[in-house]
Amino acid sequence: DGTDGGAGVAGSISSSTIRYGYDGVAIQGATGINVTGNNMYSEGLYGAYLNGSNSAITSNNLYASSCGISISASGTNATISSNNLYGNGQSGVLGGVKGDLLTNNKSYSNTNYGFDISSSFATTLSSNSIYANHSDGIYAADAANDAIVGNSIYNNSHSGINFWWIGSGATNNNLAGNIIYGNGIFGLQFNGAVSNAISGNYIFSNKNYGVNYVFTSQGNLMAGGTLGHSTTTLSAPDSNAEIALTV
């Protein structure tokens, strides 16, 4: 099975079971496609592949494929919302390239990341629940001008959010109002990340540090928010520093 939409195609795909294809739904250059309310699973590669602008993938169950949703460099201004993405062999969502909105999704128990938004630009991740993934909750290598706001990111095996340096580094991103806890390494990791704004987040009970800045990360601004448990609600403090500056 599987559905492939090319240039000139418009419309919607809804309330279907789509399984055992190379991809479940592949949007190839088409614009304005709505994919909603489907069960897409056990695909060879992607549950949904988006290679066209201004499309929406909403309220689907995407599981047991190599990746739940993949957004290519041409998948701009997409809306990815209210999906359940779980048990995929790589990430729940791979992409978020330019101007995309990723909101109100649940991404959990994926082998790699909940969201891999590397090299994204001006993308918004908001109100997502991202948990129990076997690497980072959000991996954001070289991401720029993104907004990561109001998400719950917890119990991932590595870090809650990992801003990593591959080429240009992660720059000018805004992290606000997120709850980040119980992750296996750091709550937030900054390595080669420059001029990011971190405000109003609640970060606690991560295994190593709440926030780890590697020396290559400069010009980041942290203001407001809470790091560590309140002593009125927890009898023992976190076991490591809440903020670490490392070399």
3-state helix/strand/coil string of 181-210: ECCCCCCEEECCCECCEEECCEEECCCCCC
Residue found under tokens 């988006």: 50
End-to-end Cα distance, the chain: 51
pLDDT for res 143: 95
- Amino acid present at 26: A
pLDDT for res 8: 53
**Token pair for residue 151?**
């998400």
Residue found under tokens 């992607």: 46
pLDDT for res 246: 63
Candidates 82, 66, 126; CA nearest to 100 is: 126
Instruction: Give the C-alpha separation, 197 to 211, whole Å.
Output: 13
What global pTM score does this model have?
Answer: 0.91
pLDDT for res 232: 47
Mean pLDDT of residues grouped by 10 in the chain (247 residues)? Answer: 57 96 95 97 97 96 98 93 98 91 98 97 97 98 97 98 86 95 94 89 91 76 67 53 64
pLDDT for res 28: 93
pLDDT for res 231: 47
Cβ atoms 214, 191 nearer than 8 A = yes
pLDDT for res 177: 96
∠ CA 16-20-24, nearest 5°, is 55
Instruction: Give the C-alpha separation, 226 to 239, whole Å.
Output: 16
